[in-house]
Structure 1
Amino acid sequence: MALSVGLLCFGATAAFADTTIRVNPKQGSDVVKAVQKKLDKAHKKATAKNKYIIKVKPGAYKLGGTLKLYSNTTLDLTGVKLKATKKTSNMIKVGDTPQDKKKGYAYKNISIVGGDIDNAGHSSTAIVIGHAKNVKLSGVAVHNSKNAHLVEVAGTNGFTADGCTFYDQVQTKKAKVATPEAIQIDILVKKHMKTYRSEVLPMKKIVVKNCTFRNVPRGVGSHTAVLNSPVSNVKIQNNTFTDCKSGAIQVLNYENCVIENNVINNSPRGIVSYTVNKKGVFLAKTLSKEGKVKTKVSSKYKKPKANQKIVIRGNTISLAGTDIYAEAENEGIFVGGFDFKKALKKNASTDAIPKGNYYASGITIVDNTITTIGHGIRLSDARNATITGNNIAFQSAGSKAGDFYGIQLTNASTNNVVTGNSIANPRTNGIFLLGNSSAARIDGNTIANAGKYGIGLQGSTATSIANNKVDKAKECGISVIKSSTAGAITGNTLLSTGSYGVYAKNNSKVRSCSGNTVVGANRPVFIQ
């Protein structure tokens, strides 16, 4: 084992260089003790100005325990293969084992570089991170977990995974605990992060970029949250997801979140964003009591922000298969909240979340390309959304019978804008609003070969339906039914739209209808 220390001096000013400690174990040996010895040395001596790099000699080794990382330390595993041999332990952990009593963002400036981390089919998460600040995984491959995450991180301010690969993670139907995410952005509650002290410590400044996910249940996201303590400042960019068994990206209680330029192939759901959910949401007072750490986060209902700043942009999504973890239809992009008419009942997977409308608001869904066997884009209980410039195409292969829509707004999704989208071969309706939803504008969209309506309002409102083109619809170009209201229906081109070009009935109102071109319909306009 060699120790090298670098110190550079320029005149009267000293510039500190990192200290590198090399570990040269025997090929094929169990390296947990040898590597941990050097990590412990770093724990004692490393500082923000003199960080330690623990560099393991390239080769294949066994790991019969947990490597513990502490502040100002880089574990360099370039060219190293580690295979777990102890079923009940994590392979790498930030902080102490088995229990860590730290609170706050205690561990700082930690990196793992390179390495092939083989969890050997074990049911303990391979890499766990908590109570930390500025943690980075670079070029790491993590794989082969059963009923466990590959990486689990909670209570961390600044987490980056860059250029990493995550694959071959199995979640069985008989598993006692759901662990579908390859990278789980978690919360510090005993139910989920039992080896850390419980605390309301927000996750923020998260970047997952240039990573590859394949054959995992879900790629990255969360199925847990603390009420009124959102995950914030998130970027999920330029990743590739293949053969997921659920939503490739699924987030819960996020704000200031950008999901862009990802490629999702052969997954039942693409990108999913919830404000809360019927399970997995805990009250701040629960974490505070468990960890004996005070919190200012309220456990009462608070009205959601008008602008949660959720941006879903430039992603390419191709759907296949059935979600085996959620009772959900195939959908390229889903954003939604929940309106709880009464408090939830506390159980093992959730606290008694207060009644209230936890709507989503301030969503931008733009320039995505979706090939779907179900829905394209769906909003539920979502407000102030802009859906524009998306290309949605339906494929018949692998699809199921049912009502599927290119763009659907439901459950009082209000004050939204739907413009400039292209929708081809929607199973039922191209654009469909129902359940007291509303759009300020449905303008400039192109819809081809709709199974029923090109554009439909059912118990909903659209202020403007203008300059859209519907080329072939089996029943109707534009339908306004069941006490719906359309403001101005103008400048639309409706070609071969079955029985009607524009149709309004069932106590519905159309304030003005003019300047539309209707060709090939049995009746151009029917407003009753």
Structure 2
Amino acid sequence: MSFLKKLLVTAAASIAAASCFALDASAANGSGAYGASIPSYGSSFEIDVVKDCKADPSGGSDSYSAIQKALSQASKKSSGTKCGIVKVPSGTYNISQSLHIGSNTQLILDDGATIVRCFDSGCMIYNDASGAGGYDGASNILIQGGRWDGNTDNYGSAYTFSNLRLAHANNVVLRNMKVLNNKNGHHMEIGGVSGLTIEGCYFSGYTGALLKEAIQLDVMNCDELFTGFPPFDDTACNNVIIRNNTFADIPRGIGSHSAVPGVYYTNITIENNTFTGISNICMVLYNYKHCTISGNTITDSAAGITFNYMSDESFRHFFPPVNGFQWALDNMNSDADTVISNNTITTQQMWLQNYPYGIKIYGSYVNGTNNYPGADYAVSNVDIRNNTLTCADAAVLLTDVYNSRVSGNAISSNGSVTNVESYLISGNYCYSCEISGNTVSGALKSGINLSNVQDSTLSGNTISNCQSLGILSDNCSNTKISGNSFTDNTTGGIKVGSGCEKITCSENVIKNCGEYGIKVAECGTGKDIKIKSNDITGVASGITCVKNGRAYLSGNSFEAVTDKVYADAADLVTLLKPRNFTAEEITSDRIKLTWQSISEADGIHIYRRQAGSADFVNIASVESGSIFQDESLVQGTNYYYMMIPYIEYGEETSETKPSSEIAARTKINLQTAVIDCVAETGFTSRPVMPRFTVTADGTKLTAGIDYNYTYSNNIFAGTAKITVTGRGNCIGSCEQTFEIKLGAPQGLGGVQLRPSPLGSIEKRTYMVRAVRQPSSLYALSDTRILAPVRVIDSITIGLPYRMTSESALWTGSGYSYF
């Protein structure tokens, strides 16, 4: 086993042992977020920044002091039961410093109101946290409406700034805001907030070289991550809803590119947002857990969603936990419990993303650094379902992903742009994953690529029009590829490649896929790669085994293929052991052999040995059909048969698994048998059945076992016949005649009547015997004496040779007396 495979197995075992959840294939639940819950205040008051605080709506002068005065008054007078509402009428309001907002305050801008940043350093608005940690710095804040213009064209000297910054807070609503023009920062930077709703907002306008999210959710780890908001206690955002927002022409839309091992952004819902012209990644989600990402529309963007539990970039994404590495290891959990569903994602190659993708789930086993401990930062329990992905490069990328599902997605290549040659679905170092029911078409490489994948299933996918293969797998094990449909893929349907073991490809339908239906190369021991019950049509080679690729084939069907099975060496293919091998319709010189057809075989070798011989001899090769007639055999002889399917490679053949040995015995034809019986016998008035023997080829046969027999014409004088008919191992029939004659020959002595010694009695019956010699029976009949007689020892009655009343001895219905 390779080091990488050992690593994957070890990682899977360690996750199963260390995690507090069961590794199974059940669906993820997703987010339980309900967002901000602003109290229903008992009372409220309003402050108009123009009427009450003299803000200038013309934009001719600085309105910072007026607006801040209103915000401060609102925060000071409000409480948990009383809300302060600051109103900003339509107009343009220049501000020269950062505004700050307190608890229980609502800042509401009219649709026509614009706040313009007119200073170089700092954000436009932030919350008062008062040095509190956790989620206790501020609460119950609403900012609604208006345009928030960063004005970077006129004030762009600062290297970076964020338009809005909120931290250590709870219950925050940001609604219907247009946040514009940022430089190297975030339109909204939000750290350590629980109960956050961002809805109906619009984000656009960005300058600078850094790749920053418009909405950044952050963890309060250090001043480098979120400057100005101590204490840094690793508080992360929780219970967040981001919905119905629009992101246009910026590098990134939503997410967190910073994370702390063992700390997670939890219960996050991102739904029904629109992204267009995003030049890098629409959503960057590091260390998210219990998430639902649904109903979002992404068009003309470089990449859709990245969901990471470890960085796949050189940028520093992870920071050491406040409580130390051991705390991180104790709190790390791979169960993402995340659903990514019903999104529409269209990507294209852009200057900030040379390898565009739709959805990427990424984990990794890493050695420890100063920022994180060494561990397997795998991702598990993610459902990617029912999305429509039209991508210039990969659509779904899975790396170090466990117990997750990719199902019901419509995935295709974006043919309207200069595509990157890639796979539409790719799985690397994945364990116990399911890829099912997806429609995949138009990949410029293979539709699905698997590398170092274990205990996974690919089923019910429809893969078509890919420039290379439908499915490519390398170094995979314990994985099933079943029930998929492949059509018009240029190179082939499925390739089971280098290092694979324990792979089953079954019940797939493969049509018009170029070079081969299924290829096995550089892997397999003979039975661990199983190719079963696939329907392959319109390819050059149905199943190919090359470069020491060994496979076990059974029950596959082929139509319009040049070569059903191709192998470049002997012993690469193992076929199903022949079944239902039987001998039937056996005659004296012919045995018919039949068997269940083996579709993959190029032919069948028939082997035979005769009783008394120890060696089988190849007597025939059957190239088609499942019947062979073995003829010109010796009757009554035991024969033993064995059949071995073979595969042709070059000019040679390679035999596979032999059938079980069967035995058959040729029949004995009684047409040549001899019946041995007397030539003549005497008339008795009853059926005459002389004893006889039957011999065939010097062997005496047994009645009731080898033959049945009948007598005919054997009552009256004349020529009688014995007919012998074969049974058991004998066939045919033969006959023998004998003569029945009446009367005694010349010179016959008298016939003695010998009564039983029972005393005098009337009408005693006597048996009359006529004998040629004292010991030789000639004729036998019963004769009744009616006259009373005395007891005598014997009476001798002389009978002539020819009796005048010969026919009266037996009439067929009784005796005639004399």
| TM-score normalised by length of structure 1 | 0.88
Which amino acid is the alignment partner of residue 26 of structure 1?
Answer: D
Which residue of structure 2 aligns with residue 288 of structure 1? none
- Asked if 1:447 corresponds to 2:463, the answer is yes
C-alpha spacing 1:369/1:401, structure 2 compared with 1 (3 Å): closer
C-alpha spacing 1:274/1:266, structure 2 compared with 1 (3 Å): same
Which residue of structure 2 aligns with residue 166 of structure 1? 203
Out of 356, 362, 370, the position equivalent to 1:336 is: 362
Which residue of structure 1 aligns with residue 384 of structure 2? 365
Q: Distance in 2 between matches of 1:171 and 1:438?
A: 43
Which one has a larger percent strand, Structure 1 or Structure 2? 1
Which residue of structure 1 aligns with residue 498 of structure 2? 482
Which amino acid is the alignment partner of residue 391 of structure 1?
Answer: A
Which residue of structure 2 aligns with residue 517 of structure 1? 535
Once the two structures are superposed, residues 345-400 of structure 1 have per-residue CA deviations (whole angstroms, 9 ceiling, x without a partner) of x4xxxx2x111110011110001111111111110111111000011111233334
- Asked if 1:67 corresponds to 2:99, the answer is yes
Once the two structures are superposed, residues 127-147 of structure 1 have per-residue CA deviations (whole angstroms, 9 ceiling, x without a partner) of 000110011101011001121
Which residue of structure 2 aligns with residue 117 of structure 1? 148
Q: Distance in 1 between matches of 2:393 and 2:492?
A: 21
State the identity as a percent: 27
* 1:10-29 mapped onto 2 (5 Å cutoff): 16-24=42-50, 25-27=55-57, 28=59, 29=61
Q: How far is the alpha carbon of 1:486 from its aligned partner?
A: 4.8
Which residue of structure 2 aligns with residue 493 of structure 1? 509
Q: Distance in 1 between matches of 2:328 and 2:42?
A: 49
Q: How far is the alpha carbon of 1:206 from its aligned partner?
A: 1.1
Once the two structures are superposed, residues 246-305 of structure 1 have per-residue CA deviations (whole angstroms, 9 ceiling, x without a partner) of 1101100110011111001111111110012252211222xxxxxxxxx59955435843
Higher relative contact order (CA 8 A, sep 6+): 1
Q: How far is the alpha carbon of 1:451 from its aligned partner?
A: 1.5
Q: Distance in 1 between matches of 2:535 and 2:330?
A: 48
Which residue of structure 1 aligns with residue 131 of structure 2? 101
Out of 342, 346, 349, the position equivalent to 1:318 is: 346
Contact (CA 8 Å) 1:126, 1:142: kept in 2 or not? yes
Question: Could you say what secondary structure the match of 1:195 adopts?
Answer: coil
* 1:123-138 mapped onto 2 (5 Å cutoff): 123-138=160-175
Which amino acid is the alignment partner of residue 243 of structure 1?
Answer: G
Which residue of structure 2 aligns with residue 142 of structure 1? 179
* 1:68-467 mapped onto 2 (5 Å cutoff): 68-79=100-111, 80-95=113-128, 101-105=131-135, 106-121=137-152, 122=156, 123-172=160-209, 178-188=210-220, 189-197=222-230, 198-277=232-311, 279-285=316-322, 298-302=326-330, 304-322=332-350, 324=352, 329-340=355-366, 342-344=367-369, 346=370, 351=371, 353-402=372-421, 404-410=422-428, 412-434=429-451, 436-461=452-477, 463-467=479-483
Which amino acid is the alignment partner of residue 312 of structure 1?
Answer: I
Which residue of structure 2 aligns with residue 289 of structure 1? none
Q: Distance in 2 between matches of 1:366 and 1:526?
A: 33
Which residue of structure 1 aligns with residue 739 of structure 2? none
Question: Could you say what secondary structure the match of 1:35 adopts?
Answer: helix
Which amino acid is the alignment partner of residue 297 of structure 2?
Answer: V
Q: Distance in 2 between matches of 1:442 and 1:157?
A: 39
Greater Rg, structure 1 or structure 2?
Answer: 2
Contact (CA 8 Å) 1:109, 1:134: kept in 2 or not? yes
Q: Distance in 1 between matches of 2:41 and 2:124?
A: 34
Q: Distance in 2 between matches of 1:488 and 1:179?
A: 44
Which amino acid is the alignment partner of residue 126 of structure 1?
Answer: N
C-alpha spacing 1:48/1:303, structure 2 compared with 1 (3 Å): closer
Q: Distance in 1 between matches of 2:162 and 2:504?
A: 56
Q: Distance in 2 between matches of 1:396 and 1:33?
A: 55
Which amino acid is the alignment partner of residue 504 of structure 1?
Answer: V
What root-mean-square deviation, in Å, do the aligned CA atoms of Structure 1 and Structure 2 show? Answer: 1.9
Question: Could you say what secondary structure the match of 2:150 adopts?
Answer: strand
Once the two structures are superposed, residues 468-505 of structure 1 have per-residue CA deviations (whole angstroms, 9 ceiling, x without a partner) of 11002222211111121354322211011222111112
Q: Distance in 2 between matches of 1:401 and 1:131?
A: 43
Q: Distance in 2 between matches of 1:115 and 1:150?
A: 14
Once the two structures are superposed, residues 39-69 of structure 1 have per-residue CA deviations (whole angstroms, 9 ceiling, x without a partner) of 1112222111111111122211111111110
Q: How far is the alpha carbon of 1:512 from its aligned partner?
A: 3.1
Q: Distance in 2 between matches of 1:94 and 1:362?
A: 36
Contact (CA 8 Å) 1:264, 1:317: kept in 2 or not? yes
Q: Distance in 2 between matches of 1:46 and 1:200?
A: 29
Which amino acid is the alignment partner of residue 204 of structure 2?
Answer: Y
Contact (CA 8 Å) 1:261, 1:313: kept in 2 or not? yes
Which amino acid is the alignment partner of residue 544 of structure 2?
Answer: F
C-alpha spacing 1:196/1:179, structure 2 compared with 1 (3 Å): farther
Question: Could you say what secondary structure the match of 2:68 adopts?
Answer: helix
Q: How far is the alpha carbon of 1:526 from its aligned partner?
A: 2.5
Q: Distance in 2 between matches of 1:32 and 1:389?
A: 53
Question: Could you say what secondary structure the match of 2:471 adopts?
Answer: strand
Contact (CA 8 Å) 1:303, 1:357: kept in 2 or not? no
- Asked if 1:472 corresponds to 2:503, the answer is no
Unaligned runs of 5+ in 2: 1-39, 551-818
| TM-score normalised by length of structure 2 | 0.58
C-alpha spacing 1:406/1:462, structure 2 compared with 1 (3 Å): farther
Q: Distance in 1 between matches of 2:279 and 2:455?
A: 33
Q: How far is the alpha carbon of 1:102 from its aligned partner?
A: 2.7
Which amino acid is the alignment partner of residue 191 of structure 1?
Answer: E
Q: Distance in 2 between matches of 1:88 and 1:333?
A: 36
Which amino acid is the alignment partner of residue 418 of structure 1?
Answer: I
Once the two structures are superposed, residues 160-200 of structure 1 have per-residue CA deviations (whole angstroms, 9 ceiling, x without a partner) of 1100000012232xxxxx45101111222211211110221
Of 118-127 and 372-381, deviating more is: 118-127
Once the two structures are superposed, residues 331-358 of structure 1 have per-residue CA deviations (whole angstroms, 9 ceiling, x without a partner) of 1110011210x223x4xxxx2x111110
Q: Distance in 2 between matches of 1:468 and 1:70?
A: 58
Q: Distance in 2 between matches of 1:400 and 1:490?
A: 32
Q: Distance in 1 between matches of 2:95 and 2:198?
A: 22
Which amino acid is the alignment partner of residue 315 of structure 1?
Answer: N
Contact (CA 8 Å) 2:334, 2:378: kept in 1 or not? no
**Alignment length (residue pairs):** 486
Q: Distance in 2 between matches of 1:323 and 1:484?
A: 37
Contact (CA 8 Å) 2:96, 2:118: kept in 1 or not? yes
Once the two structures are superposed, residues 426-477 of structure 1 have per-residue CA deviations (whole angstroms, 9 ceiling, x without a partner) of 111111111x213532111001112221112111135321111100222221
C-alpha spacing 1:255/1:143, structure 2 compared with 1 (3 Å): same
Q: Distance in 2 between matches of 1:155 and 1:233?
A: 13
Q: How far is the alpha carbon of 1:514 from its aligned partner?
A: 2.4
Which amino acid is the alignment partner of residue 533 of structure 2?
Answer: G
Which residue of structure 2 aligns with residue 526 of structure 1? 544
Contact (CA 8 Å) 2:476, 2:503: kept in 1 or not? no
Question: Could you say what secondary structure the match of 1:47 adopts?
Answer: coil
Which residue of structure 2 aligns with residue 503 of structure 1? 519
Q: Distance in 1 between matches of 2:140 and 2:90?
A: 24
Question: Could you say what secondary structure the match of 1:43 adopts?
Answer: helix
Which residue of structure 1 aligns with residue 745 of structure 2? none
Q: Distance in 2 between matches of 1:212 and 1:479?
A: 42
Q: How far is the alpha carbon of 1:89 from its aligned partner?
A: 2.1
Q: How far is the alpha carbon of 1:401 from its aligned partner?
A: 4.6
Of 461-470 and 471-480, deviating more is: 461-470
